[in-house]
Amino acid sequence: MSNFSRRTILAAAATTFFAARALPAFAATPYAFKHGAFELTVISDGHLVLPVSFLAPDAPPAEREVLLKAADQTGTQFNSPTNVTLIRTANDLILIDMGSGDRFMPTAGKLWDNLKAAGIDKSKITKVIFTHGHPDHLWGAVDELDELVLPDATFFVAGVEWDFWKGDNATLGLPAERAGFVTGARRNYAAIKDKVKIVKAGDEFVTGLRVIDTPGHTQGHVSLELSGGDGLIVGGDALTHPLISFQQPEWKPTADHVPDQAAATRRKLLDRLAADRSKLIGFHLPYPGVGIVERKDSAYRFVAAT
């Protein structure tokens, strides 16, 4: 085989791999749809590369293996998509979470590039709400000089989460290798502190957009509920894996701070989503992470929107 044709094949293979794994992160036309009075767009922040061992280490190995195989996660690492939701109302452009920024993983922090590629001017964003204070949701708030990326926006943070990351218990609640999460959360919270509004479950911080309590992944993790139709919940990291979170909601991923509470939250949220047939947007579900939840046997399944 000549060098040329070999190179062509390699390039084609690389392109196919790229298309399958990473295209949503760079797609110029992101997934967009209308819900009631809202226009939603899901923008990829890229993806995280995480150890497969983080996925339910407590699960019975044989059952775990079946689900990992079904998810095509048989290696030691997997790619976890990161889907940021942008909501347009009559008066506001609202971002739910801000991605990883440039200090977490080289495969993430693509939000601003992808917004630009989609023709969205980030300076028009008026409000930001954070589901929780983990790096992939919060660290995009500042640039490499620790300055606000969106200096004119108002930021909304759940009070329990704000207090947790600033308090002494933050370092006690995390394994040592993740102590950097606390430093990063405090750095970003310090940057937004003059522009932050503290919210709690039940607060309708924009008409038709309400904060709901979904604790456990972190102490103060919240989701957002949008009125209209059968409802829509932007679920942050309450449901992170397209198979495990739905079929085995009691299994405990390493990333959850309060594992029993996170499992109870998953059950409750899944129950509600399946009963109401509300849409779900999951931050780490396969891009765009939009779908509905159905009951399946004694558990649930995620049905992605087509």
Residues that bind Zn ion (CB under 5 A): 136, 237
DSSP letter string, 76-126: SEEEEEEEEEEEE-SS-EEEE----TTSS-TTB--HHHHHHHTT--GGG--
Closest to Zn ion by CB, 89 vs 129, is: 129
Cβ at position 115, least distance to Zn ion in Å:
19
Closest to Zn ion by CB, 225 vs 237, is: 237
The answer to whether 56 touches 62, Cβ cutoff 8 Å, is: no
Closest to Zn ion by CB, 81 vs 89, is: 81
Cβ at position 6, least distance to Zn ion in Å:
40
Cβ at position 239, least distance to Zn ion in Å:
11
- Four-CA torsion 115, 161, 233, 99, nearest 10 degrees: 20
CA dist 44 and 120 (Å) reads 13
Secondary structure element (H or E) that encloses residue 46, with its range: strand 38-51
Cβ at position 106, least distance to Zn ion in Å:
17
Hey, what amino acid is at 57? P
User: For residue 99, which of 302, 305, 284 has the smallest C-alpha distance?
Assistant: 284
Closest to Zn ion by CB, 89 vs 110, is: 110
Cβ at position 123, least distance to Zn ion in Å:
25
- Four-CA torsion 148, 150, 154, 159, nearest 10 degrees: -50
Collapsing DSSP to helix, strand or coil, 38 comes out as strand
Q: What is the DSSP letter of 145?
A: T
The CB density around residue 121, as the number of other CB atoms within 10 Å, is 9
| Strands 209-213 vs 222-226: parallel, antiparallel or unpaired | antiparallel
Closest to Zn ion by CB, 88 vs 187, is: 187
Closest to Zn ion by CB, 45 vs 225, is: 45
Cβ at position 111, least distance to Zn ion in Å:
13
Q: How far is CA 291 from CA 150, 183, 210, in A?
A: 29, 34, 19
Q: How far apart are the first and last CA of the chain?
A: 41
Closest to Zn ion by CB, 136 vs 225, is: 136
Cβ at position 80, least distance to Zn ion in Å:
8
Closest to Zn ion by CB, 92 vs 211, is: 211
Cβ at position 83, least distance to Zn ion in Å:
10
User: For residue 240, which of 66, 9, 78, 12 has the smallest C-alpha distance?
Assistant: 78
